[in-house]
Amino acid sequence: MSNAITALFYYDYRQEGLPQVIAIDGEGEVKGMTLTRQIKQFTVQAEVAQEMAADSRLLELNKKKIELMTKLEQVKAKKEAD
C-alpha cells in the first residue's frame, strides 16, 4: 500500500470550466486540488517558457535559412563566373 503520488495532471476533471491539479496515488485514488493563484502563475510561466523555446527555434531556423541562401548565391555566382 503506497500513498505516494504516481501521476499529476492539470485538467478540468469536473467539467466545470476550471482546471485543477489532479493527483493519483499508488493505489489509484484520485484527488483533486482547487486552482490557486500559484497554479495560475505556474501555468502562465510554463506557457511563456514554451513560447520562448518556440521563438528560439524559429530564430535558429532563420539563421540556417540565411546561411543556406548565402551559400546558394555563392554557388550561383561561381557557376556564372565559370
Chain segment 26-82, per-residue pLDDT in tens: 888 877 666 555 666 666 666 777 788 888 888 899 999 999 999 999 999 999 988
Whether residue 40 is found in the same domain as residue 77: yes
What is the total count of domains within the chain? Answer: 2
- State the Cα angle at 19 between 15 and 21, rounded to 5°: 120
Do 65 and 44 belong to one domain? yes
Q: Across residues 3-18, what is the average pLDDT?
A: 80
pTM, 2 dp:
0.41
- 46-76: buried (b, 16+ CB within 10 Å) or exposed (e) per residue? eeeeeeeeeeeeeeeeeeeeeeeeeeeeeee
Domain interval for residue 49: 36-82
